[in-house]
Amino acid sequence: MTEKRYVKQNRPFRVPTTDGKLIEEHFGKASTRTDAFSVAHMVAPPHWSEPHQTPEFDEITIVLRGRKLIELDGEEVVVEAGESILIKAGSRIRYSNPYDEETEYWSVCVPAFDFTKVHREEG
């Protein structure tokens, strides 16, 4: 029998967080040891934010419900349900949900999300 040419994910890796955000990586370094790309489902609680960062990877965000505020090289961009955005590697960004409702979205990173290459700023 030949090797299967697909990978069905039925147990995504749940990234431990301390800020109430749900992160389920379906494909990527933590879940499948995939370096080329990562795909994660996320739910950001109301009034959530993370520090500025300058990742070494491209990131696509597809918002399913709610909206997400992105500070992108000094510009504020709101991405709402049904919209998506591609942010190129090397951009200085800050993701947040300053709103009163949850934000549910998918994130695709190329190459895969890597904590050593996200370059989050302190405080």
Residue 63: C-alpha distances to residues 6, 49, 91 (Å): 26, 16, 20
Look up the CATH number of domain 38-117: 2.60.120.10
- What number is the average pLDDT over the span 26-34? 96
What span, in angstroms and rounded, lies between the C-alpha atoms of 9 and 32? 9
What span, in angstroms and rounded, lies between the C-alpha atoms of 39 and 35? 11
pLDDT tens for residues 62-115? 999 999 999 999 999 999 999 999 999 999 999 999 999 999 999 999 999 999
What is the pLDDT, as a whole number, of residue 99? 98
What is the pLDDT, as a whole number, of residue 68? 98
- What number is the average pLDDT over the span 40-59? 98
Which of helix, strand or coil describes residue 116?
helix
- CA angle (98, 101, 106) in 5-degree steps: 85
What phi, psi does 108 have (nearest 5°)? -120, 125
Burial class (CB in 10 A: 0-12, 13-18, 19+), 82: exposed
Does the pLDDT value for residue 1 go beyond 70?
no
What is the pLDDT, as a whole number, of residue 26? 98
Does the pLDDT value for residue 24 go beyond 90?
yes
What is the pLDDT, as a whole number, of residue 67? 98
Percent of all residues in the chain with a pLDDT value above 90, rounded to a whole number = 96
Q: So where are the chain's domains?
A: 38-117
* pLDDT band (50, 70, 90) for residue 2: confident
